[in-house]
């Protein structure tokens, strides 16, 4: 009887420890300021915000930027200015792949730090299924300091070649000073 009671108690302790451990693992992204993001057809494999004057791999080329100042309406309905890629501006390097079946033509990414959206960038082009894209985008100097090394680049909105659109159902909290 004593042996089975001890085994039962030991099993209960192990089970309780496993439940607590699983809860900590599931809560870890939120505790780190990371956002559990709904799946999109864009898989980001690298998100690298740089404050400026740093070496960026030559594999990363500047993303879309038209002639003149680049303003666009973001997913929040606000007019957004995206700085050009220059030697002095901070930059955001994103390595991503279209893992869906449709060709994407516009992708809006959010840079999230400590659970808040601190910057946005927009890429325009022809992003075929399976294609890996490595682009650099200009950022406002006001984005820094991020206060974390665990920044995320999340797809916020995607426009496809057939005219259909995808929008994240869980947008990150907007940081007001951009």
Summarize pLDDT for 116-152 with one digit per residue, the tens.
Answer: 899 999 999 999 999 999 999 999 888 888 887 789 9
pLDDT score of 80 more than 60: yes
Q: Is 32 helix (H, G, I), strand (E, B) or coil?
A: coil
Across the range 65-86, mean pLDDT stands at: 85
Q: Are 109 and 158 in contact (CB under 8 A)?
A: no
Nearest to 156 by CA among 46, 44, 70, 29: 44
Tokens read off for 7:
């085994």
Total domain count for the chain? 2
d(CA 80, CA 72): 5
pLDDT (0 to 100) of residue 46:
94
pLDDT (0 to 100) of residue 42:
95
pLDDT (0 to 100) of residue 148:
76
Residues 6+ apart with CB under 8 A from 122: 64, 72, 74, 80, 82, 106, 107, 108, 109
Same domain, 148 and 164: yes
Same domain, 128 and 160: yes
Same domain, 80 and 12: no
pLDDT (0 to 100) of residue 39:
65
Q: Are 117 and 173 in contact (CB under 8 A)?
A: yes
pLDDT (0 to 100) of residue 70:
84
Same domain, 83 and 134: yes
DSSP state string for 161-178? TTS-EEE-SSPPEEPS--
Same domain, 52 and 77: yes
Same domain, 142 and 67: yes
Q: Is 48 helix (H, G, I), strand (E, B) or coil?
A: strand
pLDDT (0 to 100) of residue 91:
92
> Where in the sequence is the domain holding 142, given as residue range(s)?
35-174
Same domain, 115 and 147: yes
pLDDT (0 to 100) of residue 54:
62
DSSP state string for 17-62? HHHHHHHHHHHHHHHTT-------SEEEEEEEEE-SS----TT-EE
Summarize pLDDT for 99-124 with one digit per residue, the tens.
Answer: 999 999 999 999 999 888 999 999 99
Taken as a whole, the chain contains a residue count of: 178
Q: Is 103 helix (H, G, I), strand (E, B) or coil?
A: coil
Across the range 18-22, mean pLDDT stands at: 39
Do the strands 61-62 and 71-73 form a parallel or antiparallel pair, or are they unpaired? unpaired
Confidence of residue 33 (pLDDT cuts 50, 70, 90): very low
């Amino acid at each position: 009887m004593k042996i089975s009671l001890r085994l039962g108690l030991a099993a209960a302790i192990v089970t309780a420890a496993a439940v607590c451990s699983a809860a900590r693992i599931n809560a870890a992204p939120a505790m780190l300021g990371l956002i559990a993001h709904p799946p999109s057809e864009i898989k980001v494999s690298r998100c690298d915000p740089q404050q400026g004057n740093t070496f960026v791999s030559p594999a990363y080329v500047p993303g879309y930027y038209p002639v003149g100042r680049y303003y666009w309406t973001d997913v929040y309905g606000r007019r957004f200015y995206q700085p050009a890629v220059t030697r002095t501006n901070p930059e955001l390097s994103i390595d991503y792949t279209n893992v869906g079946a449709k060709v994407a033509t516009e992708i809006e990414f959010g840079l999230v730090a400590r659970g808040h959206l601190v910057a946005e960038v927009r890429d325009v082009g022809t992003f075929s299924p399976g294609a890996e894209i490595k682009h650099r985008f200009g950022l406002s100097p006001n984005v820094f300091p991020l206060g974390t090394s665990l920044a995320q680049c999340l797809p916020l909105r995607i426009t496809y070649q057939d005219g259909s659109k995808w929008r994240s159902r869980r947008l990150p909290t907007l940081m007001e000073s951009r």
